[in-house]
Structure 1
């Protein structure tokens, strides 16, 4: 449970941050990360924490979600929105808990919650490997932030109690998010260099490739292997472009 981080993005109400800290402490979670909170610290935040003050005191502040999860091996974003132009792999709270608990044995993991009013943007979900959704009523899906955190925290606690003595540490270690992001940046450069597509003109293509690579749960050796392939493709493209330039120059000289 020590490796599981609860990340709140741009929370507007200080009281909600305090209530989340309380929900976390009741389920033995103690890693709280705040991305650009609108009202923190505050008296209301402390009051709503109801004794979970140490979580507020040790909360990590970040300037962006990307910065907050850069060392995490698995990042899952929670969202109630079901009308998005891009689809993400979806998990319910129980599935989310199992995935996080297993991955947490390899290193830090994060469960991310968005703004009270609008949740997480598509760009922020690009930092996530999957989307977690609470199967609430379709007639009324609005759930308080702390209540949503409590549901996931409870499921995590159940997994911890039932599996803590049964699961052996995983041999394979998934690469941290910062290395996965570097690979994706390399991918975007590579597909442009080889003439496959311009990433700036094909955001949906990049997003789909991101989803594909996230599902693979690559370790460091695998990322290095893939980046080696990217570099080789770029080198071949550079040689081909140079050869074409020479041929063009020769044809002009002949004319």
Structure 2
């Protein structure tokens, strides 16, 4: 069974500054059947008159919104997250996808769709919290979309994709019942016909033991600490190098068990560093390790 967007997806606004925007977001969420609104450190009165004016009959979305202090807190319990950006991301190596291609992926699991500040969007550190990035294409004459407009486009795409998924399930049921009736009538030994799959529907299998994002963040913190300790990372380059590890694991979608195994390796390595004496003799020049031993090239 395909889970509903209303049950799975939370809309996350990072430091929204305009109450009119927040009210408009609440309205379009209700239009499209969504109800989980998370506000990260809001910079406006999201329950005030202006917000309610734009929300109209969606004031309940505002009243039940969850306010948190940080983006990691907004993602607790999610196993998938997509962030939006208006930038072409030349400064960020993650690929940009269209809403139609990426958003159906959120329908299958507890997920977050993250939107940035009205004036400057999301920082690179915040973008790194997401596994995928989307950008809404627009005219080169004016590429920046209003926050509420961007949310509206994405919420509509989710609503449309969920409707396609529901129609596909209904088609499967109808064809199955029709095949039963035809076989009873004709006693034909031929197998039942299969409906054509909906190409817009993500057909991935149910998520087995998917790791919550907060647990994955715990692994990243532990990994960074160990790599700093052994000298593979240096404080001034750690952030950029950890981005590469994040991209690697974002492509892999590790499970709870796999992350537990990886953390076990790190714990055992940390124990080994404390328990075993280091050799006074090194096979590197002057006995010193380079900044990144893995980058050594053989002669």
Choose 1 or 2 for highest CA Rg: 2
User: What do the CA deviations read for 1:201-245 (whole angstroms, capped 9, x no partner)?
Assistant: 3321111111211221111000011111222333333345x2336
Residue aligning to 1:29: 34
Distance 1:125 1:57 in 2: 28
Whether the aligned pair in 2 keeps the contact of 1:7 and 1:111 (CA below 8 Å) is yes
Which blocks of at least 5 consecutive residues in structure 1 are unaligned?
A: 248-255
Q: Distance in 2 between matches of 1:224 and 1:134?
A: 36
Measured after TM superposition, the shift of residue 17 of structure 1 is 0.3
Task: Render the CA deviation track for 1:118-150: whole Å, top value 9, x for unaligned.
Answer: 111111112111211001122211211111111
Contact 1:199–1:206 (CA under 8 A) maintained in structure 2: no
* Alignment partners' CA distance in 2, 1:26 and 1:203: 40
Say whether residues 1:16 and 2:21 are aligned partners: yes
Deviates more, 1:189-198 or 1:174-183: 189-198
- Relative distance call for 1:23 and 1:171 in structure 2 (3 A) is closer
Shift of 1:36: 1.2
Instruction: Note closer, same or farther for the CA distance 1:59–1:146 as it changes in structure 2 (3 Å cut).
Output: same
TM-score (normalizing by structure 1):
0.88
Count of matched residue pairs: 242
Query: Structure 2-normalised TM-score?
Result: 0.76
The answer to whether the aligner puts 1:3 opposite 2:8 as a matched pair is: yes
d(CA) in 1 for partners of 2:91, 2:280:
41
Q: Among residues 81, 85, 109, which one is paired with 1:79 in the alignment? A: 85
Question: 1:67 maps to what in 2?
Answer: 73
Query: What residue number does 2:214 align with?
Result: 178
Equivalent residue number for residue 243 of structure 1: 278
Choose between structure 1 and 2 for higher RCO, CA contacts under 8 A separated by at least 6 residues: 1
- Asked if 1:48 corresponds to 2:84, the answer is no
Contact kept in structure 2, 1:188 and 1:199, CA below 8 Å: no
For the residue of structure 2 that corresponds to 1:52, the secondary structure is helix
Residue range with higher mean Cα deviation, 39-48 or 224-233 = 224-233
Partners of 1:53 and 1:176 in 2: how far apart?
30
- DSSP 3-state at the match of 2:57: coil
Deviation at 1:246, TM superposition (A): 11
Structure 2, gaps ≥5 residues long: 170-202, 283-299
SS at match of 2:121: coil
| Cα RMSD for the two superposed structures | 2.1
Partner residue of 1:138? 140
| Structure 2 counterpart SS, 1:228 | helix
- Retained in 1: the 8 A contact 2:224–2:238? no
Going from structure 1 to structure 2, the CA distance change for 1:168 and 1:181 (only over 3 Å counts) comes to closer
Distance 1:168 1:214, change over 3 A: closer
Shift of 1:83: 4.3
| Cα gap change, 1:231 to 1:168, in 2 (>3 Å) | closer
